Structure 1
């Protein structure tokens, strides 16, 4: 809510790979910044020698057809390797970018970096960079289900983090119990909010999260009608590949107000 009690538009989070750019590339980061996203998301893994890089998966196929594993290679071995990309209908090739490169683009932009950690080793590796670059106020962690959230709280309590809601919990438990457990786990790990797949979220979920003081960040929403729905529900952030549509909706609502 703003000072006059009006509902604020959610933060716009640019999904890695927004607007047809390849996932986890610096082009995607630049596109998110260019379109005015409040938050830019990237996935983080760690090489064998502890260098955090932008990548969703551990196993990749090189452009030459060889299978490689990020976790089994040093950064020197990995940095010039060209890998094939075929994800969400986008095909191409790329070399890996580092988390440091991403953060150095984010820092002067004023945007916030959402670091979606894919492995436990990324907690300390990301924290070292965040501290070194003086970006505590410009970074938060996601990719943290209960155990990783607790690990991050023990090892790096200064870093803000979202609890990633466990989709499996909602598939195997009564909905009300799953919501209550999710809120409880977020509070136990000192998370500042909940990161959750959008199809799970209902008005009742929003009510319970709000009662627990937990903002709700939803992913990944690309259709305008769904963006409108979740903005009306009062979520704190919407993650989208189609950042332009979300930015256009924000502008339309600002004009209407």
Structure 2
């Protein structure tokens, strides 16, 4: 039986768009991604917004912090961007704007929670849109994953694998600890930096029914490798290339079956 191709997760800022923008979301949707990943923070008045960092500079050079501003104060501010090799200007998008687009597309949102207070703000919107089945919460180390489990056990979450754990322990021990932490918080899978993925991790995760979501894979040779290893999802900024790989493999399988 042929293994299914991994789900395509469009990383925030895919295809050279600016991270955490509506353009990033709409580009991922247009290119056929199964999952759209963006970062989530909260304003001073509890509004969930899309942003990786708390600190920003406005176009006129003023330093601001999202956590110290209300949504009304943020709205319309033009921010300077110099991140991940990209530069430009943007305004802050709200999480509800993302969820509305993902819901309409019938796909899944991957919400990378940057702070603990993002949990409640995100949960409220997920329930408002009735999207519990269309959202994965990530950015969850063991403590945040347990917080989600204690406050919103109905929401699906992945355990973010701790790179430091793998650098300070034997690989086998780190894999075992990771799977134990995921099970303790009732995580539905593992969110793993691609550098840490080995067959041993995939086997141990599979034994505990923990699908492995791999990030962030932008090179086509690595995409092919992870697709052949049977991971559940590949997160990439290069959505177009991963989509082409999926189509080419699908074509090859079809020819074999003819």
TM-score (norm 1): 0.97
> Could you tell me which residue of structure 1 aligns to residue 236 of structure 2?
240
> Could you tell me which residue of structure 1 aligns to residue 44 of structure 2?
48
> Could you tell me which residue of structure 2 aligns to residue 124 of structure 1?
120
1:20 to 16, 26, 41: 16
The runs of 5 or more residues in structure 1 that have no matched partner are none
> Could you tell me which residue of structure 2 aligns to residue 110 of structure 1?
106
Helix, strand or coil: the match of 1:104? Answer: helix
> Could you tell me which residue of structure 2 aligns to residue 168 of structure 1?
164
Deviation at 1:88, TM superposition (A): 1.2
C-alpha distance after superposition, 1:132-188 (max 9, x if no partner): 111111111000000000000000111100000011111111111111000000000
1:192 to 188, 209, 216: 188
Helix, strand or coil: the match of 1:221? Answer: coil
TM-score (norm 2): 0.97
Alignment of 1:1-257 (within 5 A): 5-257=1-253
In structure 2, distance between residues paired with 1:118 and 1:59: 13
Helix, strand or coil: the match of 2:3? Answer: coil
What's the RMSD between the two structures over aligned residues? 0.6
In structure 1, distance between residues paired with 2:106 and 2:221: 29
Q: Aligned pair count?
A: 253
In structure 1, distance between residues paired with 2:166 and 2:133: 32
Q: Which runs of 4+ in 1 moved over 2 A?
A: none
